[in-house]
Amino acid sequence: MSLPLSVLDLSPVSAGSSGAQALRNSVDLARHADGLGFHRYWVSEHHNLPSVVSSSPEVLIGHLAGASRRMRVGSGGIMLPNHAPLRIAEAFRVLAALHPGRIDLGLGRAPGSDGRAAMALRRGRASGDDFPEMLDELLAFGGLEPFPADSPIRSVRALPDDVALPPVWILGSSDWGARFAAQRGFGYAFAHHFSAEWVNSATRAYKEGFRPSFAPGRLETPHLILTVSAVCAPTDMEADRLAASLDLMAVRRARGQFAPMPSPEEAAAYPFSGEERAFVADFREKIFVGSPATVRRKLEALAAETGADELMVNTMLWDHEARKRSYTLLAEAFGLSGLPAPVPLAA
């Protein structure tokens, strides 16, 4: 059987469209992925970036879980230093109560934003350096670890407290998160889609350093998810045309410009300089673009090299229907077992 295949969604905004439409597209894509047989559907947390509108993952997770039937739905991830641990414990216990056995809680320590947005979110309360302490507090509110005996908040209850906290995953893009997840016995998701240069050292650190844990909410064996950027189309040429939108978007982001995603036509008309073309060539080495056979071959090679237990695919395309088709072709290439018929659901 092929590796489990999952989806990472940033709710991208296409040029000429709107943030509201991007969120509706996420709901439509989740239904589509659920029918195709994808294992998980995770949504990210980003702020103050006009190109993506995944600013409130816990709200979106509830809607996506209600719009799907069988796949797990979760955060990829909640940026914990942006939030009070009590608030996250409450939100995800509510989600777990409403959608039993289908919610994941992926946690990261980056701001998911620029410095000013991070300041507005955190108000000087926390930084990524506080992540281990904040995680301990979250686990205590979730009933998975005890509070220190002298803690002034140990009597506070994260309600509903008769519901288990969903499985916790540690997200990372460097060795730090890999080592932390391994030492604590958590599942680990590595962000190859924007930190490919760290993939071998981080995945090795996780797999080799993993310490089995029999504590509640921990793992006895490691589970490594790789999140990758991929564009799949019927032919290599068509996939290359669609991925031109990503090329131009990457060039603009390198300049600090986070405008909505350009169309392939806009990208084709853009006069790339020699320096920009070299940048794009390097960028293309880190993503997976091509026909179903091409993309599957490349992804399986990466999974074999890193020991990945699951692949989570992020596909960002200007055309929503082309994006859905990309996931359909991947599902077929990897032999996913879809539902016998589409699930009719209200908007």
CB 195 within 8 A of CB 174: yes
- Domain annotation for the chain: domains and CATH numbers: 5-230+312-333 (3.20.20.30)
In eight-state DSSP terms, residue 226 is: E
Does 340 have pLDDT greater than 80? no
User: What are the CA-CA distances from residue 9 to residues 57, 92, 224, 255, 326 (Å)?
Assistant: 10, 19, 19, 23, 13
The tens digit of pLDDT for each residue in 296-317 reads 999 999 999 999 999 999 999 9
Q: Which of 208, 200, 205, 203 is nearest to 189 (CA)?
A: 203
pTM for the model: 0.94
Q: Any idea which residue has 């006009």 for tokens?
A: 50
Residue 319: CB atoms within 10 Å? 15
Range 80-101 average pLDDT:
97
The pLDDT-based confidence of 128 (bands split at 50, 70, 90) is: low
Work out the angle at residue 127's Cα, subtended by the Cα atoms of residues 124 and 133, and round it to the nearest 5 degrees.
115
The tens digit of pLDDT for each residue in 146-192 reads 999 999 999 999 999 999 999 999 999 999 999 999 999 999 999 99
Residue 305: CB atoms within 10 Å? 11
pLDDT confidence of residue 1: 46
Distance (Å, rounded) from C-alpha 108 to C-alpha 44?
A: 10
Does an H or E element contain 295, and which? helix 292-306
